[in-house]
Structure 1
Amino acid sequence: MSRAEHSTGEALVGLLEAYGVDTIFGIPGVHNVEMYRALPRSGIKHVLVRHEQGAGFMADGYARASGKPGVCFTITGPGLTNIMTPLGQAWSDSSPVLCISSALDIADSAQGRGRLHEMQNQLGAAATITNLAVRAYTPQDVRDGVARAFSAFASQRPRPAYLELPLDLLKVPSGPGWTAHKTPRLPQPDAVQVKEAAERLGAAKSPVILLGGGALDAGRAALAIAEQLGAPIITTTAGKGAVPGTHPLVLGYRLARESGRKLLREADTILCVGSELSETDFWDSGFILDKGLIRIDLDPATLARPHAADIAILADAAATLAAIKASLPAADHEARRRTNEKRIAGYLAMEGSQDDALRKMLGKVLAVIRDSLPPETVIASDMTQIAYAANEIFPVFEPRTWLHPVGFGTLGFALPAGIGAKFGAPGKPVAVMIGDYGIQYTINELGTAAEHKLPLVILMWNNDALGQIRDDMVNKGIQPNAVTLVNPDFQALAKAYRCHAEKPDSLKALAQAIGRALKADGPTLVEMTPRMLNG
């Protein structure tokens, strides 16, 4: 509860703490210092980032690793435009991020008076990549805006929210009433639909389970259903880790491969949980599932498009799958289970034999990384060739341990997201998988990691090029151009940021470098190159 003489900016911090916020990522500026007045006497840790883009990605990584909303502070104008890319990533990947920004005085809003950081429509810009965008005019609006954001986080498809506070409002006495509201539950499944889904699955001859990012907290029930039915499981990239990647019924992320599509085409019933089934899942906007589809999702729009479901359940994935499991008719599907386990093993064996030279090379590197990292390691990856390969062939074993920028596809995500993940899951090892070009989007956040002595294992694949774009040009008959670059001395640059740095010359040396990085007293940049395979 805030005393009446406290300012609205001070009361905001107390309210966030009441909602369970323990970490805020941001940069104090002339237009948001009033949001910082109460932070020193609160229980909230503030992480000073090096760029607002870093604040947004860190809040996203925190949210993905912890399952709790990530919170960031920014300022008017350029602060917001800098953080819009991370908000767009959080929007596309269903990540609960709350961005709180200052705005011009109420009387100056969009008046074109040449005020510092002025935008014509700051709220409108934020609304394009958030689920909720609110401009507060009174202390009551601030309280309501925060309550609406946390209510949505608790009960709907998680997506970013934006709260805008004019500068003059931040100084207004807060008044009473600054208490956290009870948040609603996630919607529960309809019993009739659960019974229908269970009967359909029980009668299926070739059922398949497809898990997306919305199923990360429902893996135990999904695996129990799969084992009872003898059904294979395929995932999206966002769904990696919902079930252990090495389980014999799990094909993993193979939606863009013929093996995965064959599995889906031959199924008579598909239980799809928590996925849009989007173009960035299949890498083919024309691949449509239109028969035997049972969908479970929190988003009614997702249930309506583009794949028509026979049964569409608007409810929490974990509760719905648990109810379906309890309702499945008793039957012996052991023979089908053995058949599908052999089928999955055959697909994976055949896939390796068909890999091209690049995939084989990356596969060797990824095998060393997987063996060297503890199974519970949280890995934030970027838009880079080694991560594209890892999406498919790198197994993860626990939910919220594979963080990849799927829908928006932003370069530079991995480093700040990994930093945020370490704050969100401090008891787990955290690694970053990134390329030499992508890291330069947010390499300044090495300073943030070093300042907090975070033992991040930063695995940077350096091929001195935009390798994927170069290969795309070649495949499309375009003469490669604008895809090579003069890189900095990454070893010296990392050390300038007070980070450790290693450049292993063999796969054995890579394993040793990862082992040292896990025990280090701060971040370690491990620079990997194709030459390692010749060492």
Structure 2
Amino acid sequence: MSTVAQGLVDWLTLMGTEVIFGIPGVHTIELYRALPGAGIRHVTPRHEAGAGFMADGYARASGRFGVALVITGPGLTNILTPMAQARADSVPMLVISGVNQRDALGKGCGHLHELPDQQALVAKLCPSFHLDQAEDLPATLAQIAQALTTGRPGPVHLQIPLDLMAAPLPGQLAPFVAATAPSPDLTQANRLLAQAQTPVILAGGGCRGAGSALKALAERLGAPVILTTNARGLMHGHPLGVPASPSLGAVRDLIRNADRLLVLGSELGRTDCDMVEDGKFPATDGMIRVDIDPDQLARHPAALTVQADVATILPRLTRAMPAADGPARAAHTRDAARAALPAGYEAEVVLLERLREGCPGAIMVGDSTQVIYAGNLFYDHDRPGGWFNAATGYGALGYAPGAAVGAALAAPEARILCLIGDGGLMFSPGELLTAAEEGLDITFIVFNNAGFGEIATAMRSAGAQVLGCTPRPPDFADLASACDLPFERVTPQALQITGSGPRLIEVTLPPVQ
């Protein structure tokens, strides 16, 4: 007879899981006992946060949910930050953890890795499922599959008590079949679009898997398409594409002058639409808004809301004649947005464009660092879904190395460029070893200004004394050597990518003062 642990692994296989990220511990031995022979690759990060970021990067690059396996207590609390990042960016991820045996839960008896209420800690962040009886596993997994594959994507948690992992599993698991969502009526949406003379589309992360349909819709409407951070790469080089942040004045002018704004799969979040925090994003009460999440649809006034997966309704949105001036409006906005970039950001965008031309079709995974801030404001990537980072939403430092590992495993044919600052890399240097161990084609590019430059600038702007912003970085040549990685030290002007396989490039910058 199968065990609960074996049944869980069998279900993961049925769901198409190819990779699991995790660090084994005494509280997950039974789960690890079930893995050999399942055809699932196990990758060991150096920290549970790395496991979560790897699952995130894997999900973004593959279009499937990532899976992380962690121990009870500290393993789970360590992965909460990646789960919060995934929640902010609508990234599907399943986190499987142990929990202490059932008769010990909530009693505070000092068991190893004990928390007062582990499930309650997670349940405020995302759906969390507790397995209470072995026979409940099929129904619980069906609920988890539903949570992972319907509605707004995000993290999901399952905890299994230690005394249940090896328990016999009665019955059989059935493959999950997702329910078909009802098709919304788009008559009113098409009527409003038909009346528009200057339509504009704002595309969010919900469009990531619908690049061709988005392009076709833009051409039918003759509408410029503003690409938020999580939609970059979908319309590379297209005359209607506007790869610029809605925080920039020129992009806001495009929205303000539109007589119909169509918002597709975007929460209209502050980190996309008001990075400068001036509160001057145009009113959107006349917009048509399409989103899979009813809670999101309720957060902004709109002329019309449509609850649906963006990809399913794009082919059904249309109008009789495309607006003739769409390409001209898009071109004017692109030129004006780029010209208005803050001081120093133009050089960062040029650097990104040089990397793009030198590594066509690469996946660029970013941390919170200035070149990423610049790219989020204005940059046209050439691969759908190939530009993503943690400098939006939750904004977790140390995200990029793990996410780059996950992306490399999901897309082994692609070159992965991990762009990170020296401060961010110190949050997760161990994942360099994971990349080396797995032989992944990741070029880690660390921009070294010996400190937290953006924070120092913000402190000065606020009239505060700069404090705590100059932590000494390691010698990156020594770090690369310790991880058995090829190493180069270059200036920004000399940065170019050669060779393949894991490597570390340090880009030297003037130090933070």
TM-score band, normalised by shorter chain: over 0.9
- Write the mapping of 1:66-145 to structure 2, written as runs, cut at 5 A: 66-130=62-126, 132-145=127-140
Q: Confirm whether residue 172 of structure 1 aligns to residue 167 of structure 2.
A: yes
CA–CA distance in structure 2, aligned partners of residues 316 and 108 of structure 1: 43
Name the structure where helix makes up a greater proportion of residues: 1
Alpha-carbon offset, residue 9 of structure 1? 1.2
Encode CA deviations 1:44-64: one digit per residue, 9 max, x unaligned. Answer: 111111110000000011001
Structure 2 residue aligned with 1:428, among 396, 404, 414?
414
Aligned sequence identity (%): 38
CA–CA distance in structure 2, aligned partners of residues 310 and 351 of structure 1: 28
Does the CA contact (< 8 Å) of 2:245 and 2:272 recur in 1? no
Does the CA contact (< 8 Å) of 1:289 and 1:308 recur in 2? no
- AA at the equivalent of 1:74: V
- AA at the equivalent of 2:157: Y
Alpha-carbon offset, residue 288 of structure 1? 5.7
CA–CA distance in structure 2, aligned partners of residues 32 and 506 of structure 1: 45
Q: Which residue is equivalent to 1:401?
A: 386
Deviates more, 1:379-388 or 1:345-354: 345-354
Structure 1 residue aligned with 2:56, among 53, 56, 60?
60
Alpha-carbon offset, residue 368 of structure 1? 2.0
Alpha-carbon offset, residue 447 of structure 1? 0.9
Q: Which residue is equivalent to 1:331?
A: 321
Structure 2 residue aligned with 1:204, among 196, 199, 204?
196
Alpha-carbon offset, residue 188 of structure 1? 4.4
Q: Which residue is equivalent to 1:16?
A: 12
Q: Confirm whether residue 450 of structure 1 aligns to residue 436 of structure 2.
A: yes
CA–CA distance in structure 2, aligned partners of residues 290 and 232 of structure 1: 16
Q: Confirm whether residue 279 of structure 1 aligns to residue 256 of structure 2.
A: no
Structure 1 residue aligned with 2:257, among 263, 266, 281?
266
- AA at the equivalent of 1:331: M
Alpha-carbon offset, residue 523 of structure 1? 1.0
CA–CA distance in structure 1, aligned partners of residues 287 and 258 of structure 2: 10
Q: Which residue is equivalent to 2:370?
A: 385
Structure 2 residue aligned with 1:293, among 283, 287, 293?
287
Distance of aligned partners of 1:285 and 1:299 in 2 relative to their CA distance in 1, 3 Å threshold: farther
Distance of aligned partners of 1:183 and 1:285 in 2 relative to their CA distance in 1, 3 Å threshold: farther
Deviates more, 1:45-54 or 1:249-258: 249-258
Distance of aligned partners of 1:64 and 1:19 in 2 relative to their CA distance in 1, 3 Å threshold: same
Alpha-carbon offset, residue 348 of structure 1? 3.1
Q: Which residue is equivalent to 1:503?
A: 489
- AA at the equivalent of 1:386: V
Q: Which residue is equivalent to 2:302?
A: 309
Does the CA contact (< 8 Å) of 1:463 and 1:529 recur in 2? yes
Distance of aligned partners of 1:490 and 1:420 in 2 relative to their CA distance in 1, 3 Å threshold: same
CA–CA distance in structure 1, aligned partners of residues 458 and 104 of structure 2: 48
Structure 2 residue aligned with 1:526, among 484, 505, 509?
505
CA–CA distance in structure 2, aligned partners of residues 398 and 364 of structure 1: 17
- AA at the equivalent of 1:138: Q
Instruction: Give secondary structure in 1 for the equivalent of 2:54.
Output: helix
TM-score, structure 2 normalization: 0.95
CA–CA distance in structure 2, aligned partners of residues 240 and 363 of structure 1: 14
Instruction: Give secondary structure in 1 for the equivalent of 2:504.
Output: strand
Does the CA contact (< 8 Å) of 2:419 and 2:446 recur in 1? yes
Alpha-carbon offset, residue 354 of structure 1? 4.0
- AA at the equivalent of 1:368: R
Q: Confirm whether residue 321 of structure 1 aligns to residue 329 of structure 2.
A: no
Encode CA deviations 1:134-173: one digit per residue, 9 max, x unaligned. Answer: 1101123332222222222222111110000000000111
Deviates more, 1:402-411 or 1:76-85: 402-411
Does the CA contact (< 8 Å) of 1:188 and 1:320 recur in 2? no
- AA at the equivalent of 1:195: T
Does the CA contact (< 8 Å) of 1:188 and 1:316 recur in 2? no
Q: Confirm whether residue 437 of structure 1 aligns to residue 426 of structure 2.
A: no
CA–CA distance in structure 2, aligned partners of residues 486 and 412 of structure 1: 16
Encode CA deviations 1:162-199: one digit per residue, 9 max, x unaligned. Answer: 000000000111122123221223x34323xx121112
- Write the mapping of 1:218-297 to structure 2, written as runs, cut at 5 A: 218-244=210-236, 246-283=237-274, 284=277, 286=279, 287=281, 289-297=283-291
Alpha-carbon offset, residue 285 of structure 1? 8.1
Alpha-carbon offset, residue 500 of structure 1? 1.4
- Write the mapping of 1:361-380 to structure 2, written as runs, cut at 5 A: 361-374=347-360, 376-380=361-365
Encode CA deviations 1:458-504: one digit per residue, 9 max, x unaligned. Answer: 11111111011011112122222211121100111012111111112
Distance of aligned partners of 1:506 and 1:162 in 2 relative to their CA distance in 1, 3 Å threshold: closer
Instruction: Give secondary structure in 2 for the equivalent of 1:482.
Output: coil
Instruction: Give secondary structure in 1 for the equivalent of 2:84.
Output: helix
Does the CA contact (< 8 Å) of 1:273 and 1:297 recur in 2? yes
CA–CA distance in structure 2, aligned partners of residues 8 and 222 of structure 1: 43
Structure 2 residue aligned with 1:472, among 442, 445, 458?
458
Distance of aligned partners of 1:168 and 1:288 in 2 relative to their CA distance in 1, 3 Å threshold: farther
Alpha-carbon offset, residue 228 of structure 1? 2.3
TM-score, structure 1 normalization: 0.91
- AA at the equivalent of 2:36: P
Instruction: Give secondary structure in 2 for the equivalent of 1:443.
Output: coil
CA–CA distance in structure 2, aligned partners of residues 295 and 76 of structure 1: 41
- AA at the equivalent of 2:435: A
- AA at the equivalent of 2:4: T
Encode CA deviations 1:401-448: one digit per residue, 9 max, x unaligned. Answer: 112122110001111001001111122221111111001111111111
- AA at the equivalent of 1:58: M
Deviates more, 1:16-25 or 1:227-236: 227-236
CA–CA distance in structure 2, aligned partners of residues 173 and 229 of structure 1: 58
Instruction: Give secondary structure in 2 for the equivalent of 1:41.
Output: coil
CA–CA distance in structure 1, aligned partners of residues 460 and 492 of structure 2: 29
Distance of aligned partners of 1:352 and 1:214 in 2 relative to their CA distance in 1, 3 Å threshold: closer
CA–CA distance in structure 2, aligned partners of residues 114 and 457 of structure 1: 44
CA–CA distance in structure 1, aligned partners of residues 441 and 369 of structure 2: 22
Encode CA deviations 1:73-103: one digit per residue, 9 max, x unaligned. Answer: 0011100000000001011110100000000
Encode CA deviations 1:17-62: one digit per residue, 9 max, x unaligned. Answer: 1111111000110011100112111111111111100000000110
- Write the mapping of 1:36-47 to structure 2, written as runs, cut at 5 A: 36-47=32-43
Encode CA deviations 1:201-237: one digit per residue, 9 max, x unaligned. Answer: 1210111001000111222222222222221110221
Instruction: Give secondary structure in 2 for the equivalent of 1:487.
Output: coil
Alpha-carbon offset, residue 394 of structure 1? 2.5
- RMSD over equivalenced CA pairs, Å: 1.7
CA–CA distance in structure 2, aligned partners of residues 351 and 273 of structure 1: 21
